[in-house]
Amino acid sequence: MRHSQTAEARPYHHGDLRRALIDAARRVLEAEGPSALSLRAVAREAGVSPAAPYHHFKDKGELMDAVAHEGWDLLDAALAAAKAAASSSQAAMNELGVAYVCFARQNPALYRVMYDTARDREDLPDKMRGDEEGAYCKVRDTLVEAGANPADTLDIELATTAAWCSAHGLAEMAGFTQFDHLKVACGGEIAFFRAIFQHMGLVPKHRAD
Amino acid sequence: MRHSQTAEARPYHHGDLRRALIDAARRVLEAEGPSALSLRAVAREAGVSPAAPYHHFKDKGELMDAVAHEGWDLLDAALAAAKAAASSSQAAMNELGVAYVCFARQNPALYRVMYDTARDREDLPDKMRGDEEGAYCKVRDTLVEAGANPADTLDIELATTAAWCSAHGLAEMAGFTQFDHLKVACGGEIAFFRAIFQHMGLVPKHRAD
DNA sequence: GTCCGATGTGGACGATGTTTAGATAGCACT
DNA sequence: AGTGCTATCTAAACATCGTCCACATCGGAC
């Protein structure tokens, strides 16, 4: 009630423990991997007692949600940058896909937390599916710019969903060693991604390349 | 002291505890979900002490591997059935995709264990990538039958990988509530899957004509 | 029948998520 | 100033988990 404009985050003793805990979680995630991401380890990393986080998060899941939320922000920014850098609207879809998979490969632990929490609640975060902004809408707009018929809204939604699923599937599989020889054959990991996207029907109708 | 469904008083030395533990794990998985799948819970379900499994599995991970292994067998069988039932080689690819996603939807916890263990070791199980049999080769063969050029081995491998990634991506996303309205619009979940696969480039593009 | 190794049990250890009671520190109001 | 109020943090405890230990027990080879 009192200070609603500064949001709920303004701890007294620590400065901003909520913020510190999320950062500590990110640090643990980077250093030790998802399996080491325990509430106690995060509290330890932040230098507080194991019970302290409970004044800022209902339970461990809520901390994970906060970490995942930051991940979605980062992913959204990466997609925005890729879209801005695309040379043509035809190329933009493939660039989005490559940027998506590269993000997952560069932040594997974070990406895993993002989808683990999403699947636990059977919901992608709202920010992804917003009609006005968010990654989902970026993909949809790019599809329209690439030539899809904006009047056929069902078709557009299906195409957007298909593209997202394809990219997510590749992102999850990209780490498997079975595909190492394909990466070599394609001349590098990113070239491999492009080759795979070539086989996925990301761009509507006409071939982009 | 009757535990779940063990027929009657079991001999103090179990007949085949390894088998019983895997079955118990499957039962726990179905009933309580992946988060409840603890070693102790499995031992409890099988009616043995928490230490008993260690005479059959090195650690919890090895039990999970065994459960996942059964999952891959089931998935392989589901794909084989779908391939056999396909009316034409053109339709077979889409049928394989639908069967894949349906398997994941009908065994969500098992599917999650399968990929969690695979990602932990950064390896899909060998049985999936065998050159002679296994799910990977089923998809590859189906692609060739559907018109892909078998001489271009790199292209075939890329197309197979792309199809697998697409199906896996859809399988993981299919549970999200965001897509409920699309399922309704398509006239059911399976119709939704078909519509999505329609947008994914599963069937090879006939570049030669 | 005796022995031995494979398979079971119970108890213990450290780590985890979570809750509780109590200590501490900043803010509001006299 | 002082007095509360409340948010924040600590310490201790609990149940559960994975894992290991010493020991009990069974089944088969001799």
Other beta carbons less than 10 A from residue A4's beta carbon: 7
Question: Could you tell me the fold of the domain covering A14-57?
Answer: Arc Repressor Mutant, subunit A (1.10.10)
Break chain A into its structural domains and give their ranges. Answer: 14-57, 59-199
- Strand runs (DSSP E) across chain B, as ranges? none
Cβ of residue B56 lies below 7 Å from strand C: yes
Q: What is the chain A residue with the closest CA to B170?
A: A165
* Interchain CB distance below 8 Å, B172 and A169: yes
Q: Give me the helix-helix angle, B153-173 and B135-145, nearest 10°.
A: 120
Average confidence score pLDDT of chain B:
90
**Which chain A residues have a beta carbon less than 8 Å from that of B143?**
none
Model confidence at B87: pLDDT above 80: yes
For residue A80 the two structure tokens come to: 């925005």
* Interchain CB distance below 8 Å, A165 and B163: no
- Mean per-residue pLDDT for B138-150? 94
* Interchain CB distance below 8 Å, A122 and B177: yes
CA B62 to chain centroid: 18
pLDDT digits (tens, 9 = 90+) for B151-188: 999 999 999 999 999 999 999 999 999 999 999 999 99
Architecture (CATH level 2) of domain B17-55? Orthogonal Bundle (1.10)
Measured CA to C1', the nucleotide nearest B37 is: D17
In angstroms, how far is D8 C1' from A18 CA?
12
Nearest protein residue to nucleotide C10, judged by CA and C1' positions: B49
Q: Which residues contact B105 (CB under 8 A, 6 or more apart)?
A: B171, B174, B175, B189
Q: Among A148, A157, A138, A115, which Cα is nearest to B183's?
A: A157
Which three-class secondary structure state does DSSP give residue B175? coil
H or E stretch covering A116: helix A108-120
> Are B35 and A119 a contacting pair, CB within 8 Å?
no
- Name the burial class of residue A91, with classes exposed (0-12), middle (13-18) and buried (19+) by CB atoms within 10 angstroms of its CB: middle
**Which chain A residues have a beta carbon less than 8 Å from that of B165?**
166, 169-170, 172-173, 196, 200
**Could you tell me where the DSSP H helices lie in chain B?**
17-32, 39-46, 60-85, 89-106, 108-120, 126-129, 135-145, 153-173, 180-186, 189-199
pLDDT of residue B203: 75
Instruction: State how far the Cα of B187 lies from the Cα of B13, in Å rounded to an integer.
Output: 53
Which parts of chain A sit beneath pLDDT 70?
1-13, 204-209
Model confidence at B89: pLDDT above 80: yes
Q: What is the DSSP letter of A137?
A: H
The residue among B6 and A21 whose pLDDT is bigger is A21
Measured CA to C1', the nucleotide nearest B49 is: C9
Interface mutation vs chain A, best among B154, B160, B200, most A CBs within 10 Å: B200
* Interface check A167 vs B, CB under 8 A: yes
Measured distance between the N- and C-terminal CA atoms of chain B, rounded to whole angstroms: 71
Cβ of residue B52 lies below 7 Å from strand D: no
Model confidence at B4: pLDDT above 50: no
Name the amino acid, one letter, at B207.
Answer: R
Interface mutation vs chain B, best among A200, A206, A207, most B CBs within 10 Å: A200
Model confidence at B205: pLDDT above 70: no
**Which chain A residues have a beta carbon less than 8 Å from that of B185?**
154
Q: What is the DSSP letter of B34?
A: G
* Interface check B5 vs A, CB under 8 A: no
For residue A125 the two structure tokens come to: 């975060």
**Which chain B residues have a beta carbon less than 8 Å from that of A125?**
none
Lowest mean pLDDT among A141-145, A198-202, B2-6, B59-63: B2-6
pLDDT of residue B84: 95
pLDDT digits (tens, 9 = 90+) for A93-106: 999 999 999 999 99
Which three-class secondary structure state does DSSP give residue B119? helix
Model confidence at B144: pLDDT above 70: yes
Instruction: State how far the Cα of A154 lies from the Cα of A28, in Å rounded to an integer.
Output: 42
Instruction: State how far the Cα of A43 lies from the Cα of B119, in Å rounded to an integer.
Output: 27
Residue A201 has its nearest CB partner, among B123, B175, B201, at B201
> Are A63 and A84 a contacting pair, CB within 8 Å?
no
Helix and strand tally (H, E) in chain B? 10, 0
Interface mutation vs chain A, best among B59, B166, B181, most A CBs within 10 Å: B166
B149: left (phi over 0), alpha (psi -120 to 50) or beta: beta
Cα-only R_g, chain A? 20
pLDDT of residue B10: 63
Q: Using CA atoms in the order A18, A22, A25, A30, what is the torsion angle rounded to 10 degrees?
A: -160
Min Cα separation A106/chain B (Å): 15
Written out in words, the top-level CATH class of the domain with range A59-199 is: mainly alpha
**Which chain A residues have a beta carbon less than 8 Å from that of B179?**
161
What percentage of chain B carries pLDDT values higher than 90? 81
